Amino acid sequence: MVKRKVSPTLIGAFVVGGLALVAAAIIAIAGNEVFSRKERAVMYFNGSIYGLQVGAPVVFRGVRVGSVVAIDVVYDKDTDTYSIPVVAELERNVLRGLGGGRKNGAGGDSGPPLPALVERGLRAQLSMQSLLTGLLYVDLDLRSDQAASLRGTRMDAVEIPTSTTTIQNLKDQLDGMDFGRLADDLSAVAASARAITGGPEIKAALADLAQISGSVRRLSARMEQRLDPLANDTKRTLDRMGAAADDVRATAQQFGQSSQRMSALMAPDSPLVQDLHRSAEEVARTAESLRQFASPDSALMHNAERALQDVSRASRALRELAELLERQPEAVIRGRPENK
């Protein structure tokens, strides 16, 4: 059997191909993280961070900019408190895209991008990824309205100030409440309420209330008995008022018709008005005739004056005759004596 000699070129090509596959797998698994530049940041939290794990995402307004790489616990002797520094690695290129780094005239960076964002108000707080799992993540945002206090205890990372969430503030307020004293106060209030409700005044008030309720029920029954006749009377009265209203409407209609007829009679061109005009003219002519007859120089007045004179002479002669008969009654037989 003839043995074939292995070619060194083929072996070298195989080794190079294997290394290329390994490099491609590393790049595919790790992505650009292997070759990207990182910037370390530290954030100090005072409360509990249960649910935050190494590898948790660090997010800026929904965009992942890094991940948590270390979580520690530090004791401060001066204040007798514990603080939890959380170290994260952030993508420098992503931070520069947020406006944290400025470029100089030559096209290079004028400085690290993260301190510039901190000066603009970059703050960190914990938020929940899911209510089911309870896992937390670090939420970064520009919150310039919140006060910032830097500790400056680490030189290998840029410190990002932290702010508490609403839930943490509520938890701190609940932790500061004295629930034992609150329970004692509630017990005292309950005891006072029991003493008041079990006292004689409350019993008397309840008895009075029962009597008042009974009186109200009896009064309601009486009112119900009296309301039915009253309602019937009211209905009859309303019916009568309706009938009277109908009569008033009929009278008003008749009055309207009479007014229309009167208006027609009193019209300037109506026969009645024309007859009245003719009668007035005749009365005026009669009055004028009477004025003419009654004037001093009219024949009627002259005749009347002569008639009055004749009557006056006749009355004077009668008066003389009467005087003569009174003096000489025998003159009726003998006649009037002759004057000598």
Let me know if residue 332 belongs to a domain.
no
Let me know if residue 188 belongs to a domain.
yes
Residues 84 and 112 in one domain: yes
Tokens of 207: 């008895």
C-alpha 313/C-alpha 310 separation (Å) is 5
Let me know if residue 248 belongs to a domain.
yes
* Counted domains in the chain: 2
C-alpha 217/C-alpha 220 separation (Å) is 5
Residues 201 and 228 in one domain: yes
Domain ranges, residue 228:
178-265
Let me know if residue 160 belongs to a domain.
yes
Residues 191 and 102 in one domain: no
Query: What is the 8-class DSSP label of residue 161?
Result: -
Residues 140 and 210 in one domain: no
How would you classify the pairing of strands 74-76 and 38-45? unpaired
Residues 184 and 92 in one domain: no
Residues 184 and 236 in one domain: yes
CA atoms within 13 A on the CB side of 285: 5
Residues 131 and 221 in one domain: no
Residues 48 and 118 in one domain: yes
Select from 157, 175, 193 the last residue of a domain.
175
Q: Write down the pTM of the prediction.
A: 0.42
C-alpha 59/C-alpha 53 separation (Å) is 14
C-alpha 242/C-alpha 47 separation (Å) is 84
Residue 198's identity, in one-letter code, is G
Let me know if residue 277 belongs to a domain.
no
Tokens of 241: 């008022």
C-alpha 42/C-alpha 155 separation (Å) is 10
C-alpha 21/C-alpha 16 separation (Å) is 9
Instruction: Output Rg (C-alpha) for the chain, integer angstroms.
Output: 67
The pLDDT profile of the chain, 340 residues, written as one tens digit per residue, is: 555 665 677 677 777 778 778 777 776 665 555 455 788 999 998 878 888 999 999 999 888 999 999 999 888 888 888 888 999 999 888 877 776 555 544 444 445 678 888 888 888 989 888 888 889 999 998 887 776 667 766 677 888 888 876 666 666 666 666 677 778 888 888 877 777 777 777 777 878 888 888 888 888 887 777 777 777 778 888 888 888 888 888 888 887 787 777 777 677 777 777 777 888 888 788 877 777 766 767 676 777 778 888 888 888 877 887 777 777 777 666 666 665 4
Cβ-based burial of 160 (10 A; exposed 0-12, middle 13-18, buried ≥19): buried
Residues 41 and 154 in one domain: yes
User: pLDDT at position 166, please?
Assistant: 64
Let me know if residue 30 belongs to a domain.
no
User: pLDDT at position 334, please?
Assistant: 66
Residues 185 and 161 in one domain: no
Select from 153, 175, 197 the last residue of a domain.
175
Strand partners, 125: 139
Let me know if residue 227 belongs to a domain.
yes
Select from 142, 175, 208 the last residue of a domain.
175
C-alpha 10/C-alpha 61 separation (Å) is 53
How would you classify the pairing of strands 74-76 and 122-128? unpaired
User: pLDDT at position 104, please?
Assistant: 47
User: pLDDT at position 107, please?
Assistant: 46
E strands of the chain, at which residues?
A: 38-45, 57-60, 63-71, 74-76, 81-91, 122-128, 136-142, 158-159
Q: Output b/e per residue, 245-264; b: 16+ Cβ within 10 A.
A: eeeeeeeeeeeeeeeeeeee
Residues 119 and 222 in one domain: no
Residues 43 and 167 in one domain: yes
